[in-house]
């Protein structure tokens, strides 16, 4: 029986890890999914989804848990870190097998770690899969060959709670789900809610943690319109009670949470730069604000607050239409199967 092997560089449960689980789940007709990742909540979620997982702590423990799978034919491999991809290549050579491997580039906010070393893998003949056109452009800027990069965008799966259609004008609650690190620029939202004129702003619900959390909490401690929830494992239930979703990172490589907000039925407001901007057609499937500018973020929130229910519902409907076409799980999984030349499970 073929195994679908996926090595993650993180054991967290952010977009990269959730997409790894989603990809394995959607490919199960082609083989048995097996996840390898550092310790973290992704293993609990893998267990919940019925996916076997192995914890590793360094390259040596990864080699130990990975080695037994190299005795079987027809396995395929997904990787996300250069060092782990190189280790898997070395181990497969020692086993004397040719293990088909795709290196998935989810991108990130650190250019060197996210993109700068990926061209090494191309020199070894390994194909790169970028999860967005933005990620592809960053790879090309870091000396990757255009011919060796395939774009397969992230996709949505599963059932999410649904927000009822808008019946009246007015935005009462705004959701923001993010890691709370400086690069994510959540501070831009906090600043927007502290500017003069913010008395007319809706309530901002912030979900997530990070090393900048306490500093931003301190800035907004006296602001009754900002509420902090900390880490929320399944934020969709809270998001479904809101009226607008705000994303602040101007260099986001993709933005899975944006798609989830669209699917739930919220209009989304994102920066006009980075991968997030490419997910949203301003005024049609969502809205843009000028990246890193709290004044414009406030202006756009107040403008959206004045829009009619018909306009908001039209934006939600257009976003959902885009989800069904561009971000179809079936279409994107077929892309992976074709790239790996997978037949049905054997």
Check which CATH number belongs to the domain holding 315 and give it: 3.40.50.2000
> By the 8 A CB rule, do 256 and 19 touch?
yes
What pLDDT was estimated at residue 107? 87
Mean pLDDT of 23-28: 95
Q: How many Cα atoms within 13 Å fall on the side-chain side of residue 144? A: 29
62-to-26, 31, 177, 207, 226 alpha-carbon distances in Å = 25, 21, 31, 32, 43
Calculate the average pLDDT of the chain. 94
Residue with tokens 């199967």: 337
- At 346, the pLDDT band (50, 70, 90 cuts) reads very low
Higher pLDDT, 112 or 244: 244
**Residue 194 domain flag:** yes
Residues 181 and 314 in one domain: yes
Determine the pLDDT at residue 344: 56
Residue 196: give the domain boundaries: 173-326
Is position 163 within any domain? no
* Residue 45 domain-assigned (yes or no): yes
What is the arithmetic mean of pLDDT over 206-219? Answer: 96
Structure tokens at 312: 């908001």
Whether 67 and 144 share a structural domain: yes
Whether residue 241 is contained in a domain is answered as yes
Please indicate, yes or no, whether residues 285 and 252 belong to a single structural domain of this protein.
yes
In a domain, 122, yes or no: yes
Q: Are residues 264 and 232 in the same domain?
A: yes
Residues 276 and 216 in one domain: yes
For the chain, the domain total comes to: 2
Based on the domain organization, do 216 and 307 belong to the same domain? yes
SS3 content of the chain, % helix, strand, coil (to 5): 45, 15, 40
Tell me the per-residue pLDDT of 150-171, one tens digit each, with 9 for 90 and over. 999 999 877 899 999 999 989 9
CA distance 117 to 125: 14
Using only C-alpha atoms, the chain has a radius of gyration, in whole angstroms, of: 21
> d(Cα 60, Cα 68) in Å, to the nearest integer?
14
Confidence class for position 113, pLDDT limits 50, 70, 90? confident
Average of per-residue pLDDT across 161-190 = 95
């Amino acid at each position: 029986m073929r195994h679908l092997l996926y090595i993650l560089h993180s054991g967290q449960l952010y977009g990269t890890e959730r997409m790894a689980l989603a990809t394995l789940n959607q490919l199960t007709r082609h083989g048995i999914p097996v996840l390898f990742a550092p310790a973290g909540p992704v293993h609990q979620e893998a267990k919940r989804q019925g996916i076997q997982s192995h914890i590793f702590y360094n390259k040596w423990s990864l080699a130990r848990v990975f080695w037994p799978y190299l005795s079987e034919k027809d396995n395929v491999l997904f990787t996300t870190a250069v060092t782990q991809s190189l280790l898997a290549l070395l181990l497969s050579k020692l086993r004397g097998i040719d293990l088909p491997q795709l290196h998935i580039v989810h991108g990130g906010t650190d250019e060197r770690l996210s993109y700068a070393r990926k061209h090494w893998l191309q020199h070894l003949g390994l194909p790169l899969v970028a999860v967005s056109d933005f990620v592809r452009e960053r790879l090309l800027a870091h000396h990757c060959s255009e011919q060796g990069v395939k774009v397969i965008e992230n996709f949505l799966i599963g059932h999410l709670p649904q927000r009822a259609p808008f019946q009246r004008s007015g935005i009462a609650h705004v959701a923001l789900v993010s890691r709370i690190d400086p690069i994510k620029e959540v501070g831009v939202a906090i600043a927007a809610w502290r500017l003069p004129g913010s008395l007319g702003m809706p309530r901002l619900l912030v979900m997530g943690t990070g090393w900048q959390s306490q500093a931003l909490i301190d800035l907004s401690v006296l602001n009754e319109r900002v509420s902090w929830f900390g880490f929320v494992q399944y934020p969709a239930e809270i998001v479904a009670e809101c009226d607008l979703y705000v994303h602040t990172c101007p260099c986001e490589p993709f933005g899975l949470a944006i798609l989830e907000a669209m699917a739930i039925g919220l209009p989304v407001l994102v920066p006009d730069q980075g991968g997030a901007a490419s997910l949203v057609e301003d005024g049609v499937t969502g809205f843009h604000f000028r990246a890193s500018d709290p004044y414009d973020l406030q202006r756009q929130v107040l403008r959206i607050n004045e829009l009619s229910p018909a306009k908001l519902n039209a934006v939600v409907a257009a976003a959902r239409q885009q989800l069904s076409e561009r971000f179809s799980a079936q279409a994107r999984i077929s892309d992976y199967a074709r790239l790996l030349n997978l037949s049905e499970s054997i």
